[in-house]
Amino acid sequence: MTTGLTYSDYVTQIATLAVVSPTDANFLIILPQATTYAENRIYRDLDLLSTVMTDASLALTVGTRLLSIPISKFVTLQQINVITPYPTTLPDLGTRNPLLPATKEWIDNVYPNNSVTGIPQYFGMLNQNSVVLGPWPDSPYQVELVGTFRPDSLSATNTQTALSLYWPDLLIMASMIYVSGYQRNFGRANDDPQMAVTYESTYQSLLKSAGVEEYRKKFQSAAWSSMEPAPVATPTRG
């Protein structure tokens, strides 16, 4: 099994590929942003299981259809479970009632006011950190949220992350795309005009295989299995 990269390994490899000293002051200034660029790009390109978390710290308000979620908690919201019976606060001690996603407009039409209350059955996104519910809650039920978050970035104080451990090759390639821009190797007239193109091409190749692996983890591969896709065996078994 790969041991991945520690932060010091990462700095050394990026400096070596960029042909600069790992202690160069200018290099160290841009390295955190290169890391941020690389990590955010990978998180956006791959729907990683390692970025999924649950949170059961919020509760609904009686007669209020709006649930506000601190913007720092989730990047994408995947699921909302209403916990019954009230006043159960721990999801495992109660019953999870999964809400179905719907449009805000549909909820506005079906549940236009608080004349219909009960255990919410639907939710619709209002904005990045607010959802509307239908029907309007009749008790301050606890809710369990499932979604993706942004892990702490790789740094001198956070010396290993999921990306540096399991996807070190992607992390290096994505970082070098940013560094190529810093070194102005994007254009036709620069010292190495193919530098950024090569790293981008390699990144895209690695991304494809990483995406397949992630689908396998979630049993979303061929025939909804965890197996490597095989063109000959794609039909489901009878």
Which of 125, 148, 171 is at the close of a domain? 148
Distance CA 73, CA 217 (A): 24
174 and 202 in a single domain? The answer is yes
The confidence score (pLDDT) of residue 231 equals 65
DSSP string, 104-153: HHHHHHHS-STTSEES--EEEEEETTEEEEESEESS--EEEEEEE--PPP
User: Is residue 117 domain-resident?
Assistant: yes
Angle at 59 between CA 55 and CA 62, to 5 degrees: 160
Angle at 180 between CA 179 and CA 185, to 5 degrees: 150
pLDDT above 60 for 31: yes
Q: Kindly state the tokens that stand for 63.
A: 């007669």
The confidence score (pLDDT) of residue 159 equals 96
For residue 22, give its domain range: 11-48+151-216
Which of 148, 173, 193 is at the close of a domain? 148
144 and 83 in a single domain? The answer is yes
pLDDT in tens, 42-68: 999 999 999 999 999 999 999 999 999
208 and 92 in a single domain? The answer is no
137 and 193 in a single domain? The answer is no
Q: Which of 2, 51, 9, 7 is nearest to 32 (CA)?
A: 7
Among the residue ranges 20-24, 145-149, 160-164, 211-215, the one predicted with the least confidence is 211-215
User: Is residue 203 domain-resident?
Assistant: yes
DSSP 3: -
| Contact in structure between 73 and 54 (CB atoms under 8 Å) | no
Q: How many domains does the chain have?
A: 2
User: Is residue 162 domain-resident?
Assistant: yes
Q: Is 1 helix (H, G, I), strand (E, B) or coil?
A: coil
The confidence score (pLDDT) of residue 71 equals 84
167 and 92 in a single domain? The answer is no
pLDDT in tens, 222-235: 777 888 777 665 55
pLDDT in tens, 151-200: 999 999 999 999 999 999 999 999 999 998 876 644 444 455 555 678 89
| Contact in structure between 143 and 123 (CB atoms under 8 Å) | no
The confidence score (pLDDT) of residue 2 equals 59
Q: What is the dihedral of CA 114, 117, 119, 122, to 10 degrees?
A: -50
66 and 130 in a single domain? The answer is yes
108 and 186 in a single domain? The answer is no
The confidence score (pLDDT) of residue 196 equals 61
Residue 8's CB: how many other CB atoms inside 10 A? Answer: 11
Distance CA 235, CA 238 (A): 9
